[in-house]
């Protein structure tokens, strides 16, 4: 685990950090504050604004976002140490200022992406689930930059994306059951966690030192073209700042990561809208994260019920089973109220289905995930609608009840994370 003074990989930038420290000290409010910082009156480059923590439940890496009053571009910083104990002495500014190229999908973009990946660069590209931020899976330095660009806690392992089964078997060992699942659902929104092969080229940094590797073949022509042009495995978490909702449009990626990555390949809106389902191919197959492929469909192929992970998986910081389960992984700025039966004045409503809730007329904004109550449509709209409602800075976002079946399991999982008190 990184210690308080140790920069995350790729994040070095003493000047602004020490200025902040000096200024803070001179005000007599030292770095010993026990609370996350808010309403701080300065930021690097002399901006003023509010600083809020975005990822408060990750023990050793806290992302701060400075929201300037006067300047439209927010700034980010990663503080290391427990969120409750974070002080400005822990601040390490994230390197920004890269020129981010945005290319429309096509052969030229696929080739540019492959070249960029090959030289250790970072490329955002669409998959059928959400946009991913890709780096060469075998290049530890590139992966360090990827963690830095996302402000992501370094213990969180990544999914290796490959173009075909041969690519998957070069990095992971597939027993008969894993092979059956791969054949049934790949390409598609299923990630399989399997033991690494001998000599697996995926960098240890990408697997967080585990002896397993998470693999998937995405079902998206743009992702496939990039993976084929590149030739090797590409690790890709969702292309958002850690703690923000996952991107379903290239514009979402740009709003989080422009200036921090090399290239965004714009392939239009994604189809599924929630991340892949993650299945641990352990002795007992285990659903590590509900996602774009429903539990029911996997169980039908396995002919058996899937085990659930231990209830507290991911709630401590020691090698969680699937750290994506960290309680507040997805976080709009507004607080989120689930299972709403009514709307309070000033709340925004995230609706589902045709019902009209009491108080609807006083809502600050209303978006419907699926007026007809279709769960696939709701999944595709989930992150985009959350972002849109959040952008209006409502008092809170009230969310109507979503049934816990099919993709509803993944939707409710994401909504529960978004609702974790921050
Ligand atoms: O749909 C998706 O899966 C998207 C697109 C871009 O492919 N990717 C994505 O990646 O959601 P990310 O990094 O946000 O989530 C990866 C999840 C994390 O929860 C991580 O802990 C888990 O995969 N994971 C990766 N390797 C693992 C391993 N060896 N064992 C258990 N969990 C693992
Ligand atoms: Mg993610």
Q: Tell me: pLDDT of 173 over 80.
A: yes
Average pLDDT over residues 414-420: 85
The 397-399 sheet, strands edge to edge: 336-337, 397-399, 348-351, 365-368
Provide the pLDDT confidence category of residue 330 given band limits of 50, 70 and 90: low
What values do phi and psi take at 376, rounded to 5? Answer: -65, -45
What values do phi and psi take at 408, rounded to 5? Answer: -60, -30
Please tell me the distance from the alpha carbon of residue 394 to that of residue 391, in angstroms, as a whole number: 8
Packing angle of the helix pair 408-419, 375-391 (nearest 10 deg): 20
Provide the pLDDT confidence category of residue 242 given band limits of 50, 70 and 90: confident
Centre of ligand 2 from the C-alpha of residue 38, in Å: 25
**How does the average pLDDT of the chain come out, rounded?**
77
Cα→Cα distances 165→140, 161, 274, Å: 24, 11, 23
Provide the pLDDT confidence category of residue 329 given band limits of 50, 70 and 90: low
Packing angle of the helix pair 176-185, 295-302 (nearest 10 deg): 130
Please tell me the distance from the alpha carbon of residue 215 to that of residue 327, in angstroms, as a whole number: 23
Q: Do 211 and 195 touch, CB atoms closer than 8 A? A: yes
Q: Which of 128, 150, 189, 324 gets mutated to test ligand 1 (max ligand atoms within 8 A of its CB)?
A: 324
Q: Do 78 and 150 touch, CB atoms closer than 8 A? A: no
pLDDT of the residue at 211 = 82
Among protein residues, the one whose CA lies closest to atom 31 of ligand 1: 322
Q: Tell me: pLDDT of 302 over 70.
A: yes
Average pLDDT over residues 236-245: 88
Closest alpha carbon to 322 in 274, 286, 272: 286
Provide the pLDDT confidence category of residue 153 given band limits of 50, 70 and 90: low
Cα→Cα distances 22→14, 27, 231, Å: 12, 9, 48
pLDDT of the residue at 194 = 96
Total number of residues shown for the chain: 422
Instruction: Specify the ligand 1 atom closest to the Cα of 191.
Output: 3
Q: Which helix (H) or strand (E) holds 350?
A: strand 348-351
Tell me the pLDDT tens digit for each residue of 175-187.
999 999 999 999 9
Helix, strand or coil, per DSSP, at residue 272 = coil
pLDDT of the residue at 60 = 42
Instruction: Specify the ligand 1 atom closest to the Cα of 152.
Output: 13
Which single residue is written with the structure tokens 């989080």? 256
pLDDT of the residue at 18 = 28
Lowest-confidence region among 27-41, 219-233, 300-314, 340-354:
27-41
Q: Which residues line ligand 1 (CB under 6 A)?
A: 127, 129-130, 132, 156-159, 191, 193, 207, 210, 212-214, 218, 236-238, 275-276, 278, 288-289, 321-324
pTM of the model: 0.71
What values do phi and psi take at 357, rounded to 5? Answer: -85, 150
Ligand nearest to the Cα of 159, by number: 1
Tell me the pLDDT tens digit for each residue of 360-415.
999 999 999 999 999 988 988 888 899 889 989 999 999 999 999 888 888 898 89
Dihedral of CA atoms 46, 52, 55, 61 in degrees, nearest 10, equals 40
Packing angle of the helix pair 375-391, 250-257 (nearest 10 deg): 40
As to burial, measured by CB atoms within 10 angstroms (0-12 exposed, 13-18 middle, 19+ buried), residue 35 is exposed
Please give the span between the terminal C-alpha atoms of the chain, in angstroms, as a whole number: 23
Cα→Cα distances 220→1, 217, 301, 354, Å: 36, 9, 23, 32
Residue 29 in tokens: 């409010």
Provide the pLDDT confidence category of residue 203 given band limits of 50, 70 and 90: confident
Separation of CA 317 from chain center: 18
* 65/342: higher pLDDT: 342
pLDDT of the residue at 265 = 97
Please tell me the distance from the alpha carbon of residue 246 to that of residue 210, in angstroms, as a whole number: 25
* Sign (positive or negative) of CA dihedral 161, 296, 369, 394: negative
pLDDT of the residue at 309 = 66
Q: Tell me: pLDDT of 172 over 50.
A: yes
pLDDT of the residue at 81 = 47
Which residues partner with 77 through β-bridges?
64, 93
Lowest-confidence region among 26-30, 88-92, 378-382:
26-30
Please tell me the distance from the alpha carbon of residue 125 to that of residue 379, in angstroms, as a whole number: 19
As to burial, measured by CB atoms within 10 angstroms (0-12 exposed, 13-18 middle, 19+ buried), residue 115 is middle
pLDDT of the residue at 310 = 58
* 323/289: higher pLDDT: 289
pLDDT of the residue at 27 = 28
Average pLDDT over residues 46-75: 43
Tell me the pLDDT tens digit for each residue of 95-127.
456 789 999 999 999 999 999 999 999 999 999
């Amino acid at each position: 685990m990184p210690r308080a003074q140790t920069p995350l990989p790729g994040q070095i930038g003493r000047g602004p950090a020490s200025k902040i420290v000096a200024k803070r000290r001179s005000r007599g409010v030292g770095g010993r504050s026990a609370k996350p910082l808010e309403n701080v009156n300065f930021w690097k480059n002399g901006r003023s604004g509010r600083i809020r923590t975005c990822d408060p439940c990750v023990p050793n890496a806290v992302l701060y976002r400075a929201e300037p009053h006067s300047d439209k571009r927010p700034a980010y910083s990663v503080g290391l140490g427990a969120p409750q104990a974070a002080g400005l002495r822990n601040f390490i500014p994230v390197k920004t200022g890269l020129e981010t190229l945005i290319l429309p999908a096509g052969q030229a973009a696929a080739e540019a992406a492959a070249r960029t990946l090959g030289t250790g660069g970072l490329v955002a590209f669409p998959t059928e689930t959400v946009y991913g931020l890709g780096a060469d899976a075998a290049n530890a330095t590139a992966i360090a930059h990827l963690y830095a660009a996302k402000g992501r806690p370094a213990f969180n392992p990544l999914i290796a994306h490959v173009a075909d089964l041969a690519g998957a078997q070069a990095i992971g060992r597939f027993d008969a059951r894993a092979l059956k699942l791969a054949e049934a659902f790949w390409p598609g929104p299923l990630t399989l966690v399997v033991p690494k092969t001998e000599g697996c080229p995926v960098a240890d940094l990408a697997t967080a030192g585990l002896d397993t590797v998470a693999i998937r073949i995405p079902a998206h022509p743009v992702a496939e073209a990039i993976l084929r042009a590149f030739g090797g495995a590409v690790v890709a978490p969702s292309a958002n700042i850690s703690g923000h909702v996952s991107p379903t449009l290239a514009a979402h990626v740009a709003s989080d990561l422009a200036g921090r990555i090399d290239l965004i390949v714009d392939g239009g809106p994604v189809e599924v809208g929630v991340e892949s389902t993650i299945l641990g191919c352990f002795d007992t197959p285990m659903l590590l994260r509900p996602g774009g492929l429903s539990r029911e469909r996997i169980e039908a192929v396995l002919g058996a019920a899937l085990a659930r992970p231990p209830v507290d998986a991911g709630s401590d910081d020691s090698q969680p089973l699937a750290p994506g389960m960290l309680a507040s992984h997805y976080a709009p700025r507004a607080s989120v109220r689930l299972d709403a039966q009514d709307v309070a004045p000033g709340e925004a409503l995230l609706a589902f289905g045709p019902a009209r809730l009491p108080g609807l007329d006083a809502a600050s904004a209303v978006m419907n995930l699926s007026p007809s109550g279709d769960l696939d449509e709701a999944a595709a709209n989930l992150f985009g609608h959350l972002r849109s409602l959040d952008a209006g800075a409502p008092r809170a976002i009230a969310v109507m009840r979503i049934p816990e079946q099919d993709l509803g399991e993944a939707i409710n999982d994401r909504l529960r994370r978004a609702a974790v008190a921050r």
